[in-house]
A and B are shown apart, each in its own frame.
Chain A
Amino acid sequence: MAAVISLQDIKRDFIVGSETVHALRGVSFDIQEGEFVTIMGTSGSGKSTLLNVLGCLDSPSSGTYLLDGNSVREMSKDQRAVLRNRKIGFVFQNYNLLAKTTAVENVELPLMYNSSVSAKERRERAVNALQTVGLGNRLEHKSNQMSGGQMQRVAIARALVNNPAVLLADEATGNLDTRTSFEILVLFQRLHAEGRTIIFVTHNPEIARYSTRNIFLRDGRITEDTINHNVEDAAAALASLPPEE
């Protein structure tokens, strides 16, 4: 199996006033294709910084980061933007859908910034992605006509539409109630089963039970990196929830 992500001694320093804050103090790990990794840590542990680095939104101060074979640290802002467009799918805690815009247009968005995709192909791929997340019947619903779970599904479809090397979820269930959270987790597990590489950044240790590998961060360092041999089935957990009133 090829390493989709390879981090080698990644450091990220911020200068705040006259002080230097070491957000990441040398993080190294590889993520293979098809893994479902949760990155956990309390606030201040550096997980947001790590997410920004992994998502090519930020560039590390030192170390090497290879994303699908591309060395990110040497890249310019524009090159990283193009790399995000082709290799990464983001899922955010607060969905970040465009207001007053239909589901299918929201999903088309990443492809709008890829001129090699024609309008027809863009539409087809957006519809396919929405069908994958179970919203094939809500293509023309606008973002303000949907529930939180539905909006997060649209966001996941948007993350999938460019067929990314890695799916980056940032507290993707943080704004959802328990039942909807499990529904989203079921979806992530299904995508994982289909071969997607998923990185789920969260402070909620419960999520770890449903992923194949757990990385714990503390004070900018990895304190634990374990393979979960006993992955629980989110669908079963969903079924065991008390019925809705």
Chain B
Amino acid sequence: MNYANLFKIAFKALSNNKFRTFLTMLGIIIGVASVITMLAIGQGSKRSIEQQISEMGSNMIMINPGGDRQGGVRMDPSAMQTLKLEDYEAIVSRATKIAAISPSVSKSGQFINGNNNTPSQMQGVGLGYLTIRQLQVESGDMFSEQDIASSAKVCIIGKTVVDNLFPDGSDPVGKVVRFNSIPFRIVGVLKSKGYNSMGQDQDNVVLAPYTTVMKRILAVTYLQQIVCSAVTEDETQNAIKEITEILRENHKLRDGDDDNFTIRSQQELSSMMSSTSEMMTVLLACIAGISLVVGGIGIMNIMYVSVTERTREIGLRMSVGARGRDILSQFLIETIIISITGGIIGVLLGVIATLLVNIIASWPVYIQPWSVLLSFGVCTITGVFFGWYPARKASSLNPIDAIRYE
């Protein structure tokens, strides 16, 4: 038997009963479309979370002083004085897996410009901070190495601070603002980054040389934090290991002593958050998968009824010379045509629905090519799987009974 003929026969049988064919397809169409849409929503939210985290600095490593006890009282880590400038210098000179590094000290307070004032944080940082936090200078310049060396009273400020201190819209670069009655000259303005996924305003920031903040504002010799970024995200764990070794050596800790500092990386945060959205994707995929199976059962249902309804036709085909396997192939080809056509329509509908979700609900979406291939493949397989039983039944009919079936 030639398959071109069988294909023609199957196609003819389907087009003779367009409404039934459409109904059969409907399950598959909805199944495929929902798989694609739901996976696109899941993937979209996952990617948007990942992107937000990487904007915060994807391979960032934060070194904080560890909590410890002083005279039996457990102390807040930020009050600890275990992290020193020497530690920073040791990491700078010895670590190999670090792309950028900066000490960090900060003090909250009121910034004043004439009769405008705003609460913010004065952060004392090094030059590497911009790279680590992925900040960019919009106008003016970052303070210089020279400013750090001389503990210069200069700062670079974020957009929110600019808006609050200079509501008239004048250029802040070169102006002087006061913090704790100390005048600071503004040397630059940072490009706006907006809010992060935690709801923090990333533009409410004032950066000054760490030396200035340590000496002129806090009058301390220790650091509150050291931030650095690993060469690549994959190297983050190695970089943490390296820093741990340097710091333990520097702090003269013996084997068995606890670390008196803590190292955290964004990777943990990012993997935690993406595992949440991963779970959501799996959940959505499950729902979509169920609708695909229901679609498959729909095919089986209608094909099964169709076999009964077409018993006479099957009997006639057999009496004019169709073998069992010709009938089997015909019905299988019918279900394959139904599921593939339904699959194609479902893919189109799914893409349209995804775009609508994006436009109307403005949710982040991302259609992954594999989700299209997957749902398409699965719908073809369900079609054949669920079409097999009715086709088998049709092919095993006895022509004598079938031809006289009323």
Contacts and interface: CB of A to CB of B under 8 A. Distances in A.
B323 A78 contact: yes
B313 A158 contact: no
A86 interface: yes
Interface string A1-17: 00000000000000000
B9 interface: yes
B318 interface: yes
B326 interface: yes
Contact of A158 (B17, B312, B320): B320
A77 B403 contact: no
B322 A115 contact: no
A113 B329 CA distance: 12
Contact of A96 (B12, B312, B322, B325): B312
A57 B16 contact: no
A58 B325 CA distance: 18
A110 B400 contact: no
A112 B5 contact: yes
B16 A81 contact: no
Interface string B1-44: 11001001100100011000000000000000000000000000
Nearest to A93: B404
A196 B147 CA distance: 113
Nearest to A55: B319
B324 interface: yes
Contacts of A109: 316-317, 320
Given A57-B399, A96-B312, A112-B5, A82 B321 contact: yes
A109 B322 CA distance: 10
Interface string A104-117: 01000110111100
A96 B323 contact: no
B320 A110 contact: yes
A115 B321 contact: no
Given A113-B326, A115-B2, A57 B320 contact: no
Interface of chain B, helix or strand or loop or mixed? helix
A48 B33 CA distance: 52
A96 B321 contact: no
Nearest to B16: A100
Interface in B335-376: none
A78 B324 contact: yes
A77 B319 contact: no
A57 B326 contact: no
A86 to B, nearest CB: 7
B210 to A, nearest CB: 85
A115 B319 contact: no
B12 A105 contact: yes
B316 A98 contact: yes
Contact of A113 (B17, B312, B320): B320
A86 B16 contact: no
Contacts of B1: 113, 115
Interface string B368-401: 0000000000000000000000000000000110
Nearest to B318: A81
Given A77-B323, A84-B319, A115 B12 contact: no
A52 B400 contact: yes
A132 interface: no
Given A100-B16, A115-B1, A58 B320 contact: no
Contacts of A158: 320
A85 interface: yes
Contacts of B8: 112
A57 B324 CA distance: 13
A81 B316 CA distance: 12
A55 B321 CA distance: 11
A241 interface: no
Given A96-B315, A113-B5, 15 more contacts: A55-B319, A57-B319, A84-B320, A96-B312, A96-B316, A96-B403, A101-B16, A109-B317, A112-B9, A113-B317, A113-B320, A113-B326, A114-B321, A162-B320, A162-B321
What are the 9 A-B residue pairs with the smallest beta carbon separation, nearest first? A85-B321, A115-B2, A110-B320, A81-B323, A113-B321, A96-B316, A100-B16, A78-B323, A112-B5
29 contacts: A55-B319, A57-B318, A57-B399, A58-B400, A81-B321, A81-B324, A81-B326, A82-B321, A82-B323, A85-B321, A90-B319, A90-B320, A92-B316, A92-B403, A96-B312, A98-B16, A100-B16, A109-B317, A109-B320, A110-B321, A112-B5, A113-B320, A113-B321, A113-B322, A113-B323, A115-B2, A158-B320, A162-B320, A162-B321
